[in-house]
Amino acid sequence: MPELPEVETVRRGLIPVMEGQRIARAEVRRPDLRFPFPPRMAERLTGATVTALRRRSKYILADLSTDETLLIHLGMSGRMLISGAMVGAFHHGTGLPVQALEGAHPEPLKHDHVILDMEGGARVTFNDPRRFGAMDLLATGAGHKLLDGIGPEPLSNDFHEIWLAHRLKGATPIKSALLDQKNVAGLGNIYVCEVLHRAGIAPMRLARDVTRAEVARLVPLIREVLAEAIEAGGSSLRDYRQADGELGYFQHTFRTYDREAEPCTTCATPIARIVQSGRSSFFCPQCQR
């Protein structure tokens, strides 16, 4: 499932073609994804202008001129694809000059579930083969069941050592504690594995046993790893693509994730793998204690 860096990368890719643009036509091609679509979704989106594109945790939020917000969750395999729009000097994924693609849109595919034709000529398509994604409409500024109880954004000033130390007091493994969205928003399995390696903390350590000095190191390391991943366009492992169709490449710099039996980049000890709460944890038995 896309984590914070992937969702942030998609949001940034959508800004040039969506923010400040009117949705000339919305097409909803099925009644639901993970949840049913809201009533009259196509009608409510058509004619609305996207006033801002925000992100909260792993969700994209498109504020509309109608005082509603379109909530988008990519799920396991969801992708937001752009066609018929300029991305730099050439259209990514084709190498063709922009002029050759202006106004050109591919025929909708089987798993193209929501299509937004923007007034500027771009088309934004939500494609989701596994249908674990979600879209909903809510009053702008209102709460939503998918957003309730989410902790602070790790790249914001609300996330700091005092907050994290307060949350890491239980008998939960530190890996699980950092994955808990109530403690910090947007972190997933990939980036928690990478953060814990840089911090020298084993994923099975209990959260309450993590020292205050280690917590102080965790906060900037979380920001560091996320910032590097965003700069790299996220991590492409299976289904994830950027909005322009390009792959992210942070996976090429993984220190532990998905590197079982490969040498640690710090000490050359083979990376180990265990299963915690049904998820694989990758770590160095020598560097992480």
Q: Identify whether 289 is part of a domain.
A: no
58 noted as active-site residue: yes
As for how many domains the chain has, the answer is 2
The tokens describing 288, both together, are 């992480």
Based on the domain organization, do 175 and 115 belong to the same domain?
no
Q: Identify whether 183 is part of a domain.
A: yes
Based on the domain organization, do 132 and 10 belong to the same domain?
yes
Based on the domain organization, do 113 and 221 belong to the same domain?
no
Q: Give the pLDDT of residue 95.
A: 36
Q: What is the pLDDT along the chain (289 residues), one digit of tens a residue?
A: 788 999 999 999 899 999 999 999 999 999 999 999 999 999 999 999 999 999 999 999 999 999 999 999 999 889 999 998 754 433 333 333 333 344 578 889 999 999 999 998 999 999 999 999 999 999 999 999 999 999 999 999 999 999 999 999 999 999 999 999 999 999 999 999 999 999 999 999 999 999 999 999 999 999 999 999 998 887 755 554 445 555 444 666 899 999 999 999 999 999 999 999 899 999 999 999 9
Q: Give the pLDDT of residue 240.
A: 43
Candidates 11, 58, 241, 255; catalytic one: 58
Number of Cβ within a 10 Å radius of residue 135? 24
Q: Identify whether 41 is part of a domain.
A: yes
Q: Give the pLDDT of residue 106.
A: 86
Q: Identify whether 263 is part of a domain.
A: yes
Based on the domain organization, do 167 and 245 belong to the same domain?
yes
Q: Identify whether 288 is part of a domain.
A: no
- Sign, CA dihedral 237-1-73-184, equals negative
Candidates 25, 56, 223, 279; catalytic one: 279
Report the C-alpha gap between 96 and 260 in whole angstroms. Answer: 40
Q: Identify whether 146 is part of a domain.
A: no
Based on the domain organization, do 166 and 253 belong to the same domain?
yes
279 noted as active-site residue: yes
In order of 45, 79, 84, 235, 244, the CA distances from 2 in angstroms are 25, 10, 25, 8, 16
Based on the domain organization, do 126 and 181 belong to the same domain?
no
Q: Identify whether 150 is part of a domain.
A: no
Q: Identify whether 62 is part of a domain.
A: yes
Based on the domain organization, do 171 and 257 belong to the same domain?
yes
Based on the domain organization, do 71 and 171 belong to the same domain?
no
Report the C-alpha gap between 84 and 263 in whole angstroms. Answer: 44
Q: Give the pLDDT of residue 253.
A: 83
Q: Give the pLDDT of residue 210.
A: 98
CATH number of the domain enclosing 26: 3.20.190.10
Based on the domain organization, do 98 and 18 belong to the same domain?
yes
Number of Cβ within a 10 Å radius of residue 207? 21
Domain that holds residue 273: 161-283
Q: Give the pLDDT of residue 251.
A: 66
Based on the domain organization, do 234 and 133 belong to the same domain?
no
231 noted as active-site residue: no
- Tell which of 78, 109, 139 closes a domain: 139
